[in-house]
Amino acid sequence: MNYDMLLLRFGEFMLKGKNRARFEKTIITQVKALLKPYPGASLRKEYGRVYVDLGGESHTQLIPVLKRVFGVASISPVKVTPSEIEEIVQTAVAFMDERAQEFGEVTTFKVNARRVWKVFPHSSHETNHLVGSPILRKFQQLKVDVRDPDIELRVEIREQGTYIFSEVIPAAGGFPLGTNGRAMVLLSGGIDSPVAAWSSMRRGLEVECVHFYSYPFTSQRAKEKVIDLARALADHAGSIKLHLVPFTEIQTAFTQLGQDNLIITLMRRSMLRIATKLAERERALALITGDSLGQVASQTLPSMNVIGRATDLPLLRPLVMMDKQEIVSLSKQIGTYDISILPYEDCCTLFVPKSPSTNPNLRIVDKIEATMSHLPEWLDQAVEQTETITLYAGEASVLTGQPENSEMKDDWF
């Protein structure tokens, strides 16, 4: 079908309260950022809604992109026609004609007209009949059901034109990006942390990513993989800051302690300390990880307890109660899965001991750290040597040179 524009509805929380103006502004900024690669499209704002005029861009390309906008509850592709009854009827019939292949033996429908422009000579009720009758005459298999129709044909009559649409496609929902503050997500190359980042963004957090690498133990490829993951997240956020932290020195020191089963615990604590310093520098108020309770040794409750104490900031774990299957399915839907499963090693998988502790002792861990007199200095150095890059929506992949497929899986809710 040849649509003219897309209608983006805000979530219900947007409709009232003193935050509305700020929320709407945020949504518009994100829509603009995501529309950059589509110069034909332009946007128009109205109370509780945003309209994107397609201007020749394809709706099948733009819908998957705009579904990512946080705070947008749903999207409808719209046909626009002049606000005159003959034109409206004609367009509505043509609209149903194009949807006819979706009709089963018996498909139920109703017309739901709304006269916003009061000068229009027919009431909403009259318009329902004026539009519905010719449709029923033309499509014998259609039956009217005003309660729960398969197709609800919406007809919004406005001064500047009448909007005709029927599909309501669910979008990301949640809170507009950044309206709940800023946080640092610890981004590994795995499946979980990108999902944790997305879930946090959906709750209205602006996220910056921190990644620890141990060159030359981890390859340039492994680093590029994480850059690609951050870039995939930028396809949702518009842009993402990624802090790349050299971790070789600290990691090597831990491997030389002869405390193999505590290495992961010690490494995680140092990562949190460095991330905390970066968070302070970037004015972020929380840390986020991809931990899921019981998934691996470092994610038992005793491990989380000992590791979590290394930071004073709130430590958010959006996936903590989720099953692996749910996490995997989300990662496929947000477009990070295919990157996450690439084989390049992560600094933590490299030195994984045979039996990492599932029940580390806080006193022992504290003692070990106290014997490492250079540790505070190394943590500061790691922060100083951190390299920060910004990734933008629609940029080409570092690994493949191709822009990522912008089509998300259709069944993503």
Q: φ, ψ for residue 362 (rounded to 5)?
A: -60, -40
Number of residue whose CB is nearest ligand ATP: 190
Q: Minimum Å distance from CB 242 to ligand ATP?
A: 10
Q: Confirm whether residue 211 is marked as ligand binding.
A: yes
Tell whether residue 290 is among the known ligand binding residues. yes
192 binds ligand ATP (CB under 6 A): yes
CB of 184 to Mg ion, least distance (A): 17
Pairing of strands 161-165, 151-158: antiparallel
DSSP string, 100-158: GGG--SSEEEEEEEEE-STTSSS-HHHHHHHHHHHHHHH-TTEEE-SSS-SEEEEEEEE
Is 147 annotated as ligand-binding?
no
Sign of CA dihedral 201, 203, 205, 211: negative
Told to check if 211 binds ligand ATP by CB under 6 A, we report: yes
In the list ligand ATP, Mg ion, none, the entry touching 298 (Cβ below 5 to 8 angstroms by class) is ligand ATP
Q: Contact between 190 and ligand ATP (CB under 6 A)?
A: yes
Question: Quick one: what does residue 290 bind among Mg ion, ligand ATP, none, with the CB cut-off 5 to 8 Å set by partner type?
Answer: ligand ATP
Q: Which of 161, 190, 194, 360 binds Mg ion (CB under 5 A)?
A: 190
186 is in an annotated binding site: yes
Burial class from Cβ neighbours inside 10 Å (0-12, 13-18, 19+) for residue 147 reads exposed
Q: What are phi and psi of 244, to 5 degrees?
A: -105, 115
How would you list the strands of the sheet with 239-246, edge to edge? 315-316, 287-288, 182-186, 206-213, 239-246, 387-392
Which span sits near Mg ion by CB under 5 A: 74-82, 133-141, 186-194, 405-413? 186-194
Asked whether the beta carbons of 179 and 22 are under 8 A apart, the reply is yes
- Residue 346 in contact with ligand ATP, rule: CB under 6 A: yes
Binding residue (CB under 6 A) for ligand ATP from 26, 83, 107, 193: 193
- 141 annotated as belonging to a binding site for a ligand: no
Whole-number Å distance between alpha carbons of 219 and 225? 10
Q: Is 191 in the site for ligand ATP (CB under 6 A)?
A: yes
Instruction: Tell whether residue 319 is among the known ligand binding residues.
Output: no
HSE-CB at 343 with a 13 A cutoff on CA atoms is 0
Report, in Å, the least distance between residue 138 CB and ligand ATP.
54
Shortest Å distance, C-beta 378 to ligand ATP? 16
CA neighbours within 13 Å on the CB side: how many for 137? 8
**Size of residue set near ligand ATP by CB under 6 A:** 20
Choose the contact partner of 295 out of ligand ATP, Mg ion, none; CB within 5 to 8 A by kind.
Answer: ligand ATP
- Residue by residue, DSSP assigns 304-350 as HHHHHTT-SS-EE-TTTT--HHHHHHHHHHTT-HHHHTS----HHHH
Give the nearer residue to ligand ATP in terms of CB position, either 142 or 304.
304
CB of 292 to ligand ATP, least distance (A): 6
Q: Measured from the CB atom, is 117 or 351 closer to ligand ATP? A: 351
Q: How far apart are CA 69 and CA 27, in angstroms?
A: 7
Residues 283-322 that bind ligand ATP (CB under 6 A): 289-291, 295-296, 298
Q: Which residue matches tokens 């920060």? A: 388
Question: Residue with the closest Cβ to Mg ion?
Answer: 190
Q: How far apart are the first and last CA of the chain?
A: 23
Q: Would the annotation count 256 as a binding residue?
A: no
Q: Is 161 left (phi over 0), alpha (psi -120 to 50) or beta?
A: left
Nearer to ligand ATP, 77 or 290 (CB): 290
Question: Distance between CA 125 and CA 140 in Å, rounded?
Answer: 22
Q: How many chain residues touch Mg ion (CB under 5 A)?
A: 2
Select the span of 91-99, 204-212, 379-387, 404-412 touching ligand ATP (CB under 6 A). 204-212
| Binding range to Mg ion, per CB under 5 A, among 42-50, 109-117, 184-192, 310-318 | 184-192
Nearer to Mg ion, 136 or 352 (CB): 352
Which residues lie near Mg ion (CB under 5 A)? Answer: 188, 190
Name the site residues for ligand ATP (rule: CB under 6 A).
186-188, 190-193, 210-212, 271, 289-291, 295-296, 298, 346-348
Annotated binding site for ATP: 186-187, 211-212, 268, 290, 299
